Amino acid sequence: MKQYGIIGNPLGHSYSEQYFTELFKQQSLNATYRPYAIEKIELVQELLTTLEGFNVTYPYKESIIPYLSTLDSVAQTIGAVNVVHQGKGYNTDWIGFRNSLLPLVNPSQRALLLGTGGVSKAIQYAMKDLEIDYTVVSRHNHASAITYEHIDEHLMATHTIIVNCTPLGMHPYTDQLPNIPYQLLTKEHLLYDCIYNPERTLFLQQGELRGCKIKNGLEMLHLQADCAWEIWHQQPNK
């Protein structure tokens, strides 16, 4: 019996076990899928020897890279991994995000990407693929990002796509949200939250109150998971 799973910490928010267990059942596959809430990334070494493949979520999408035998070219470029198959790292987050965002936007828009971690790196890659200009926002000073204090009326008016790439608001910390000037939101804005549990984070609720278009990360989850499935069955989807 082949074994699959997901690593991260915490994992209480994740729907991956339910999704893949049902998928295995539908395909009549003799396989299992389990969550592994490892306390530190070093513990992945044993899992690499026992699991056929696994998903990677917060906070290990970047720190797992040194433990993998190789990366595919896209994961290498992005600098983050969310799928592993037989010791090789892949990134399907960007595909899930791109394909779920595509019907909602056009290349003339600009985006604010909140956060600088592994999810943000995948979103940046997707934005480049969509030819959408973006600005990254960080809690800390970075050469390639601005801080939240620099988000002013002009930036909010000219950046009508705002993507939460942070874990703020994710179950069970549902009372948290990124620190942006929500009073400057208009009906022209799209708020996209990569979080899917809860379905409507405080971030999305703030947008909804002001007439913004909103979208959570559930479709992104399903699309990236379908790509992971294809990778595990040697049919990479590009």
CB 203 within 8 A of CB 178: yes
∠ Cα 126 132 136 (to 5°) = 75
Task: Find the Cα–Cα–Cα–Cα dihedral 150, 102, 78, 159, rounded to 10°.
Answer: -10
Residue 61 catalytic?
yes
Q: How far is CA 78 from CA 61, 82, 97, 121, in A?
A: 11, 11, 14, 6
Contacts of 181 (CB under 8 A, 6+ apart): 151, 152, 153, 156
Q: How far apart are CA 82 and CA 225, in angstroms?
A: 10
Question: Which structure tokens are listed for 90?
Answer: 């892949």
Active-site entry in 2, 25, 40, 61:
61
Q: What residue type is assigned to position 52 of the chain? A: E
Torsion over CA: 32, 33, 34, 40 (sign): positive
CB 69 within 8 A of CB 87: yes
List, by residue number, the catalytic residues.
61
